[in-house]
């Protein structure tokens, strides 16, 4: 959700912050804004996305600035609700990512004490609370106000007469970048990588003071030291690199992502708790949840380890009786539901493991042990390469549990992804782009692949799509099948191939257009299909990878054919840091 970015250094800050906000826009794009500190605090903000040109920053002079790109929670997306927010005097400005749960109570008190509000946001209360205690020391004022606030926040604050940017976090991510005579603070590393790879990931409760020359960090009022990390990601990783959309670039990154992930995992010290686990519970959301469902199939079928997968948002409130290892899977490592689910498992005394893409993310701080998926930064809201990297982690774990029996799959599977990238999906795209509803079906480990295909399609093309276990279609959804409702079916060879073929014939009998993914020499499927898409290789590992990639591309090209804003689908944002 929302992205925040601050800079203090020797250059005009507003221009640097505006460029940084462009890189953070994937976290939210309802509105954006900047406050710069020159002789006074000046603010520019606007509803909507950051335009390529035409947003005037001439009035935002100064060498320290904070900015925000918004995913609306409190108050509609309009100019007045855009951050930064100021106090009554206009001398203090705040940007905030998170939710202040007791804001209504605090606001009533502030209004009673005569404060005038100019927005409907929860954030504005912070500026007014600071106004009440600010006596020329911004750090002291922030430290006095934070204990009044319940909820989650990463904030950056500027005050007219104070030379610092003050940053603070609690349950929302915040990273400090250490530059050459410049300091940065942001929701994630993406806007900072342009300037430095030296990062400090702040911890919950940290309050940091940034000047161009130094960063000082305080916890509970006392100065603390935090380790600086040199991150591997580069600024190239967060550029489109010639592709029209980040999503397409990230889809095409996947052969390398898969190989790199496998290579890196082989060097990694794997936590012993995985080997010792008798029962595994996995919590995750969205795409990571679908990947986790595949992991369950692999663990049970290949390793005979009992596994269950829970939607993190449900698990948090309705946890099953718990035993054994609990794994949280999350690309961002910041998804609120997954964080809370893993925290609950930890409090119940279960050993916990985090599988994440972002080094130092919150999930790694909760878990007893962590594994990195090594996908590199994922910018597109629609997750693709993190899904493939999650599969790489799972295949690798299965390989370990099977004592190296999958090593050859791991070494060669990137080729199946490469071949999938070359397929002509034109006829399938033509069929899907005319549809109002699409079913995606599969069986076994290919059922979650179908779920993920449907999620990708609805997320970026806005076509209603549902993923189903193929055998379930006849228990209700059959009523919806018609010549206008295509079915995309993944028909991998294996135990369920025969029943899958029957399911498909039953659908065909209702006049449903069939887009079938199957083994390339499968004559039967080719005959029955309206559109046949050959799976480059159909063994479990390559089949899962290539079918996933094909469905990502199908969604991408369908959305592109319909002219949708692929990297910024409506109403969505990348990391979902609110419940
Ligand atoms: C999928 O394309 C999504 N944008 C979304 O479902 C995402 O996978 C989900 O929010 C979980 O994110 P995480 O992996 O960062 O926890």
476: left (phi over 0), alpha (psi -120 to 50) or beta: left
* Ligand 1 nearest atom to the CA of residue 382, by list position: 2
Q: Which domain-ending residue is among 203, 236, 269?
A: 236
Q: Both 206 and 275 in a single domain?
A: no
Single pTM value for the model: 0.86
Asked if the structure places residue 579 within a domain, the reply is no
Instruction: Give start and end residues of each alpha helix (H) in 405-462.
Output: 407-421, 426-433, 446-461
**Planar angle of CA 99, 102, 107, nearest 5 degrees:** 105
> What's the CA-to-centroid distance between 287 and ligand 1, angstroms?
5
Burial tier of 116 (Cβ tally within 10 Å: 0-12, 13-18, 19+): exposed
pLDDT over 90 at 440, yes or no: yes
> What's the CA-to-centroid distance between 290 and ligand 1, angstroms?
10
pLDDT over 80 at 391, yes or no: yes
> What's the CA-to-centroid distance between 542 and ligand 1, angstroms?
23
Q: Atom 7, ligand 1: which residue's CA is nearest?
A: 286
34-91 confidence digits (pLDDT tens): 999 999 999 999 999 999 887 888 899 999 999 999 988 888 889 999 999 999 999 9
Q: Atom 10, ligand 1: which residue's CA is nearest?
A: 286
Q: Both 75 and 160 in a single domain?
A: yes
Give one DSSP letter per residue of 246-264, joined into a string: HHHHHHHTHHHHHHHHHHH
Q: Which domain-ending residue is among 405, 432, 454?
A: 405
Q: With a 6 A CB cut-off, is 338 part of the ligand 1 pocket?
A: yes
CATH code (residue 41): 3.60.20.10
Angle at which helix 124-133 crosses helix 138-145, to 10 degrees, equals 120
- How far is it, in rounded angstroms, from Cα 292 to Cα 307? 10
* Ligand 1 nearest atom to the CA of residue 459, by list position: 2
* Ligand 1 nearest atom to the CA of residue 335, by list position: 16
> What's the CA-to-centroid distance between 162 and ligand 1, angstroms?
39
**pLDDT for 240:** 78
106-147 confidence digits (pLDDT tens): 999 999 999 999 999 999 999 999 999 999 999 999 999 999
Asked if the structure places residue 575 within a domain, the reply is no
pLDDT over 90 at 248, yes or no: yes
Share of the chain above pLDDT 70, in %: 99
174-213 confidence digits (pLDDT tens): 999 999 999 999 999 999 999 999 999 999 999 999 999 9
Q: Atom 6, ligand 1: which residue's CA is nearest?
A: 286
Which neighbouring-strand residues pair with 532? 516
Residue 58 a catalytic site member: no
Tell me which of 269 and 363 has the higher pLDDT. 363
> What's the CA-to-centroid distance between 388 and ligand 1, angstroms?
13
* Ligand 1 nearest atom to the CA of residue 574, by list position: 4
Residue 496's SS3 state is coil
Confidence of residue 275 (pLDDT cuts 50, 70, 90): low
- How far is it, in rounded angstroms, from Cα 335 to Cα 21? 21
290-333 confidence digits (pLDDT tens): 999 999 999 999 988 999 999 999 998 888 888 899 999 999 99
Q: End-to-end alpha-carbon separation of the chain, Å?
A: 11
Which neighbouring-strand residues pair with 95? 156
Which position among 45, 107, 456, 574 bears the catalytic label? 574
**pLDDT for 106:** 97
Q: Both 218 and 267 in a single domain?
A: no
Q: How far is CA 145 from the centre of its chain?
A: 30
Range of the domain at 307: 240-405
Q: Both 51 and 198 in a single domain?
A: yes
Of 188, 576, 578, 579, best ligand 1 pocket probe by most atoms within 8 Å of the beta carbon: 576
Residue with tokens 């782009």: 433
Q: Both 273 and 384 in a single domain?
A: yes
Q: With a 6 A CB cut-off, is 285 part of the ligand 1 pocket?
A: yes
Q: How far is CA 327 from CA 120, 279, 461, in A?
A: 38, 11, 31
Q: Which domain-ending residue is among 349, 375, 405?
A: 405
**pLDDT for 329:** 98
- How far is it, in rounded angstroms, from Cα 5 to Cα 186? 4
Long-range Cβ pairs for the range 16-21 (8 Å, 24+): 16/65, 17/65, 17/66, 17/67, 18/50, 18/55, 18/57, 18/67, 19/191, 19/194, 20/67, 20/184, 20/186, 20/191, 20/192, 20/194, 21/50, 21/67, 21/68, 21/69, 21/191
Q: Both 300 and 329 in a single domain?
A: yes
> What's the CA-to-centroid distance between 479 and ligand 1, angstroms?
31
Mean pLDDT score of the chain: 93
CATH code (residue 486): 3.40.50.10490
Give the chain's domain count.
Answer: 3
Residue 472: other Cβ atoms inside 10 A? 14
Q: Both 384 and 494 in a single domain?
A: no
Q: With a 6 A CB cut-off, is 335 part of the ligand 1 pocket?
A: yes
Q: How far is CA 384 from CA 29, 445, 568, in A?
A: 20, 17, 14
pLDDT over 80 at 399, yes or no: yes
What is the average per-residue pLDDT within 431-456?
A: 97
Q: Atom 5, ligand 1: which residue's CA is nearest?
A: 286
Asked if the structure places residue 576 within a domain, the reply is no
Residue 491 a catalytic site member: no
11-41 confidence digits (pLDDT tens): 999 999 999 999 998 888 889 999 999 999 9
* Of the ranges 21-25, 214-218, 396-400, the best mean pLDDT one: 214-218
Residue from 495, 397, 405 nearest 445 by CA: 495
> What's the CA-to-centroid distance between 332 and ligand 1, angstroms?
8
Tokens (6 digits) for 338? 């997954």
Q: Both 351 and 454 in a single domain?
A: no
Tokens (6 digits) for 12? 């005009």
Q: Both 199 and 257 in a single domain?
A: no
Q: How far is CA 117 from the centre of its chain?
A: 33
Of 335, 358, 385, 551, best ligand 1 pocket probe by most atoms within 8 Å of the beta carbon: 335
**pLDDT for 58:** 87
Q: What are phi and psi of 189, to 5 degrees?
A: -75, -15
Q: How far is CA 569 from the centre of its chain?
A: 13
Which position among 2, 350, 432, 491 bears the catalytic label? 2
What is the average per-residue pLDDT within 411-423?
A: 92
CB 482 within 8 A of CB 438: no
Residue with tokens 């702040």: 202
């Amino acid at each position: 959700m929302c992205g925040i970015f601050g800079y203090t250094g020797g250059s005009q800050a507003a221009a640097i912050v505006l460029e940084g906000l462009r890189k953070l826009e994937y976290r939210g794009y309802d509105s954006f804004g900047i406050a710069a500190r020159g002789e006074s605090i000046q603010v520019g903000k606007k509803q909507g996305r950051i335009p390529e040109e035409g947003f005037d920053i001439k009035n935002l002079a100064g060498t320290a600035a904070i900015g925000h790109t918004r995913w609306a929670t409190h108050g509609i997306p309009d100019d007045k609700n855009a951050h930064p927010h100021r106090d009554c005097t206009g001398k203090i400005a705040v940007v905030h990512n998170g939710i202040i749960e007791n804001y209504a109570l605090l606001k009533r008190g502030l209004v009673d004490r005569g404060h005038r509000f100019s927005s409907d946001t929860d954030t504005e209360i912070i500026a007014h609370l600071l106004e009440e205690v600010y006596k020329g020391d911004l750090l002291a004022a922030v430290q006095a106000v934070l204990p009044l606030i319940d909820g989650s926040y990463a904030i950056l604050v500027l005050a007219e007469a104070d030379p610092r940017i003050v940053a603070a976090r609690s349950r929302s991510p915040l990273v400090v970048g250490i530059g050459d005579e410049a300091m940065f603070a942001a929701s994630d590393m993406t806007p900072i990588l342009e300037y430095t790879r030296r990062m400090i990931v702040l911890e919950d409760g940290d309050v940091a003071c940034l000047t161009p020359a130094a960063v000082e960090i305080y916890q509970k009022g006392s100065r603390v030291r935090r380790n600086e990390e040199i991150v591997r990601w580069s600024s190239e990783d967060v550029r489109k690199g010639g592709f029209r959309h980040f999503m397409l670039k990230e889809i095409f990154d996947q052969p390398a992502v898969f190989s790199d992930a496998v290579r890196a995992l082989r060097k990694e010290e794997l936590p012993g708790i995985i080997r010792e686990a008798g029962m595994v519970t996995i919590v995750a959301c969205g795409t990571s949840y679908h990947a986790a469902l595949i992991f369950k199939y692999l663990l049970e079928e290949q390793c005979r380890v009992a596994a269950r997968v829970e939607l993190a948002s449900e698990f948090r409130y309705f946890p099953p009786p718990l035993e054994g290892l609990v794994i949280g899977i999350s690309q961002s490592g910041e998804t609120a539901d997954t964080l809370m689910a893993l925290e609950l498992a930890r409090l119940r005394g279960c050993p916990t493991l985090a599988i994440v893409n972002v080094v130092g993310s919150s999930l790694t701080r909760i878990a007893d042990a962590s594994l990195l998926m090594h996908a590199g930064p994922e910018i597109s809201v629609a997750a693709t390469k993190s899904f493939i990297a999650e599969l790489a982690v799972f295949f690798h774990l299965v390989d370990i549990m099977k004592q190296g029996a999958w090593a050859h799959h791991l070494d060669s599977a990137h080729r199946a992804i490469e071949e999938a990238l070359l397929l002509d999906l034109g006829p399938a795209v033509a069929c899907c782009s005319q549809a109002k509803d699409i079913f995606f079906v599969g069986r076994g480990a290919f059922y979650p692949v179908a779920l993920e295909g449907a999620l990708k399609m609805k997320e970026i093309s806005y076509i209603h799509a549902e993923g189903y276990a193929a055998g379930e279609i006849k228990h209700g959804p059959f009523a919806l099948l018609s010549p206008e409702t295509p079915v995309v079916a993944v028909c991998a060879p294996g135990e369920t191939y025969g029943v899958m073929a029957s399911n498909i014939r039953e659908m065909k009998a209702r006049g449903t257009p069939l887009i079938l993914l199957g083994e390339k020499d499968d004559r039967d499927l080719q005959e029955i299909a309206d559109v046949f898409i050959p799976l480059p290789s159909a063994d479990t590992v390559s089949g899962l990878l290539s079918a996933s990639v094909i469905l990502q591309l199908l969604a991408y090209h369908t959305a592109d054919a319909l002219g949708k804003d692929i990297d910024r689908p409506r109403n969505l944002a990348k990391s979902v840091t609110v419940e």
